[in-house]
Chains A and B, each alone.
Chain A
Amino acid sequence: MADPLVRFERVRKTYGTGAAAVQSLDLDIARGELMTLLGPSGSGKTTTLMMLAGFELPSEGRILLEGRDIAQTAPHRRGIGVVFQSYALFPHMTVAENVAFPLSVRGVGRSERDSRVAKALDMVRLGGFGDRRPAQLSGGQQQRVALARAMVFEPPIVLLDEPLGALDKALREEMQLEIRHIHQRLGVTMMYVTHDQAEALTLSDRIAVFEGGRIRQCADPKALYDRPADAFVAGFVGENNLLPGTIEARDGEECSIRLRCGPLVQASAVDCGGRGEACVVAIRPERIAVAGVTASDLGEGALPATVLEAIFLGDHVRLRLGVGDGGEILAKRPAGVGSLPEPGGPAAIAWPEGAAFAFRDTTPRV
């Protein structure tokens, strides 16, 4: 990537003598991009954001903003906008005063300040709310004020630390789209931290998946979903069946894998060893076709299965299927399309070529 806006170079963060919170991180963020750091809690994503904001100092490495190393610069001299999970609006100021604060700190004159505050509040659809106190607003409105405050001084990048974590589901989804639209309209670079993979998929241009202080994969949402780089990403982003097994044969990308529950399946090798090595096979639930017939009726490659449970969810049906000796596979089928086998009845399952991937078995067993 030529001339990234932000570049993390071999950044490492350790606390005391414990394990590194962030281990040798390399990450570029392009101008105008919405980059999401996605991962479970304790994966290092928030520490990474805090190091860019300046509230944590890296133990090693460089952080470049527009080519300048800012790793040791005080937070208030970085000129980066931050939206906090708790909103952190100033309760003693009105909404307009909150949004005007970054401008008044920078010595922007009264009339220009007023017009920019009005513009910023219009941007988050809170025009006319300027005289209210933060406590008089709902959670979603407060978070919109926080966004306006973080963007009003036109920072090169805006950091959002789990900004929607405190909101209920419906409001969260509305705000996700709103942030996405603001990002698209203004072209402002954003770095967004979340543990919610659906939120990451909704919002992002690119997603960096964190686990154990490392980036497991950094890619656009579609690539991340369709071509996960390892078993962790496959399990964390979207739903996946992760079936343990052993490689019986490998020919380039094509593997034959004996699942622990018995059946032999074909999968594309992504990140796995050769013959005799342990692996997991990942198959998306929505790629699995289910029919209430015997496996031989369904054709070559089909597996016999029994329907353990069918859960109706309105737009789709989730089928828990027993496969082989104690194996379990989840399938998602659209509701009302064709007929689905009844629980207890015989069934057969199959998936298209290229839908199954084989990974090194690195998932921690929970």
Chain B
Amino acid sequence: MARGILWALGVLVALFLVAPIVAILPLSFSAGSFLFYPLPGLSLRWYEDFFASPFWLPAFWNSMGIGTAAAALATLLGTPAAFGLWRMTGAFRAVAMGIVLAPMVVPVIVVAVALLLAFGPLGLVATHTGLVIAHAMLGVPFVVVTVLASLEAFDPVQLRAAAACGAGPVRAFFRVCLPQIAPGVAAGAVFAFATSLDEVVVALFIAGPAQRTLPRQMFSGLNDQISLTTTAAAAMLVVMSVLLLLAVAWLQARGRRRVQG
């Protein structure tokens, strides 16, 4: 009995979490033109529209390009930061940790305004570079947290062993530490990519017409005309997010297997 209630509650919470996402997906296959149930019929016309559209397709490629570049930059910055934090002890570690994780905690709107003001004089507003830097900044905390988690399973004596073999700190990091935490680093990169992929606030503030990303375009798409192509775009974002989550899960399982041998 109590077990049944528990199950029912669990199902309700799960519904609460996924219902909005599940509700929008069938609409993208609608043969009609309105956000409306029941569906008048099934078709792929909105997907065809998406891939033929000069409004959506460039945004899709922007999202991919900016996401990849931002993920790469965030990983490049976040991995050494995580390693440094891992080796650090004492009060300064908490301070450094706070600074590194700040972009995750500070409201995005604050970050967006600050970036707009800071990027203006630097000429980075409405540039790809600017948006990549901004998204990388938002992605760094995810990389740091993920890489730190995988470093918890890394035996620090390994670094001493590398030194005893004659490897300096840099070589020890690249040849002994990095290969062992690689699944964590890759998972961090995926998180950073996902962060960029669904980021809309900063994009609204500092992206120009040439940097419009998929979420940014969905936002204006809904404001201007309610085309069901927006639901097709949404469906594709959902599918990509699920794939990325699966990728992270796979990488983490792989990491665990590696540690256990």
Indicate with 1 or 0, residue by residue over A80-101, a CB within 8 angstroms of chain B CB atoms: 1110101011111000000001
A54 lies within 8 A of B167 (CB):
no
Identify the stretch in A8-16, A71-79, A167-175, A353-361 within 8 Å (CB) of chain B at 4 or more residues. Answer: A71-79
Also in contact, A75 and B163, with CB within 8 A (given A86-B157, A90-B176, A91-B180): yes
Counted as pairs of residues, one from A and one from B, with CB atoms less than 8 Å apart, the total is 68
Indicate with 1 or 0, residue by residue over B153-189, a CB within 8 angstroms of chain A CB atoms: 0010110111111111101100110011000000000
Q: Report Cα–Cα, A323/B162, bound state, in Å.
A: 57
Q: Specify which chain A residues have a CB less than 8 angstroms from the CB of B160 in the assembled complex.
A: 53, 55, 75, 82, 84, 88
Indicate with 1 or 0, residue by residue over B130-172, a CB within 8 angstroms of chain A CB atoms: 0000000000000000000000000101101111111111011
- CB of A192 within 8 Å of the partner chain: no
A105 lies within 8 A of B165 (CB):
yes
Which of A88, A101, A135 touches B261 (beta carbons < 8 Å)? Answer: A135
Which of A55, A86, A134, A153 touches B166 (beta carbons < 8 Å)? Answer: A153
Also in contact, A74 and B168, with CB within 8 A (given A88-B157, A90-B176, A92-B258): yes
Also in contact, A82 and B176, with CB within 8 A (given A88-B158, A135-B261): no
Tally of chain A residues near chain B (CB < 8 A): 28
- CB of B259 within 8 Å of the partner chain: yes
Q: Which of B155, B164, B172 has the most CB of A within 10 A?
A: B164
Chain A stretch 101-123: residues in CB contact (< 8 A) with chain B? 101-102, 105-106
Chain B interface size range: 20 to 34
B157 lies within 8 A of A84 (CB):
yes
Q: Specify which chain A residues have a CB less than 8 angstroms from the CB of B172 in the assembled complex.
A: 76
CB proximity of B153 to chain A, nearest CB, Å: 11
- CB of B260 within 8 Å of the partner chain: yes
Q: Specify which chain A residues have a CB less than 8 angstroms from the CB of B163 in the assembled complex.
A: 54-55, 74-76
Q: Specify which chain B residues have a CB less than 8 angstroms from the CB of A54 in the assembled complex.
A: 163
CB proximity of B59 to chain A, nearest CB, Å: 40
A150 lies within 8 A of B261 (CB):
no
Chain B stretch 205-261: residues in CB contact (< 8 A) with chain A? 258-261
Q: Specify which chain A residues have a CB less than 8 angstroms from the CB of B157 in the assembled complex.
A: 84, 86, 88
Q: Specify which chain B residues have a CB less than 8 angstroms from the CB of A91 in the assembled complex.
A: 180, 258-259, 261
Q: Report Cα–Cα, A74/B161, bound state, in Å.
A: 13
Q: Which of A79, A101, A134 has the most CB of B within 10 A?
A: A101
Q: Report Cα–Cα, A84/B160, bound state, in Å.
A: 9
Q: Report Cα–Cα, A54/B162, bound state, in Å.
A: 13
Chain A stretch 181-228: residues in CB contact (< 8 A) with chain B? none
Q: Report Cα–Cα, A80/B160, bound state, in Å.
A: 12
Residue of A whose beta carbon sits closest to that of B154? A91
CB proximity of A145 to chain B, nearest CB, Å: 11
- CB of A149 within 8 Å of the partner chain: yes
B258 lies within 8 A of A149 (CB):
no
Residue of A whose beta carbon sits closest to that of B179? A92
Also in contact, A82 and B261, with CB within 8 A (given A92-B179, A102-B166): no
A81 lies within 8 A of B164 (CB):
yes
Residue of B whose beta carbon sits closest to that of A104? B175
Q: Specify which chain A residues have a CB less than 8 angstroms from the CB of B165 in the assembled complex.
A: 76, 101-102, 105, 149, 153
Q: Specify which chain B residues have a CB less than 8 angstroms from the CB of A296 in the assembled complex.
A: none
- CB of A363 within 8 Å of the partner chain: no
Q: Which of A54, A82, A88, A134 has the most CB of B within 10 A?
A: A88
Q: Report Cα–Cα, A82/B160, bound state, in Å.
A: 9
- CB of A136 within 8 Å of the partner chain: yes
Q: Report Cα–Cα, A136/B162, bound state, in Å.
A: 21
A88 lies within 8 A of B155 (CB):
yes
CB proximity of A20 to chain B, nearest CB, Å: 22
CB proximity of B143 to chain A, nearest CB, Å: 21
Q: Report Cα–Cα, A190/B202, bound state, in Å.
A: 62
- CB of A31 within 8 Å of the partner chain: no
Q: Specify which chain B residues have a CB less than 8 angstroms from the CB of A106 in the assembled complex.
A: 166
| Listed A/B pairs (12) with beta-carbon separation below 8 Å | A53-B160, A55-B163, A76-B166, A76-B172, A81-B164, A82-B160, A82-B164, A91-B258, A101-B165, A101-B167, A105-B171, A150-B164
Instruction: List 15 other contacts, CB 8 Å, given A82-B164, A90-B162, A91-B258.
Output: A54-B163, A55-B160, A75-B160, A80-B164, A84-B160, A88-B157, A88-B161, A91-B261, A101-B167, A102-B165, A102-B166, A106-B166, A135-B260, A136-B261, A150-B164
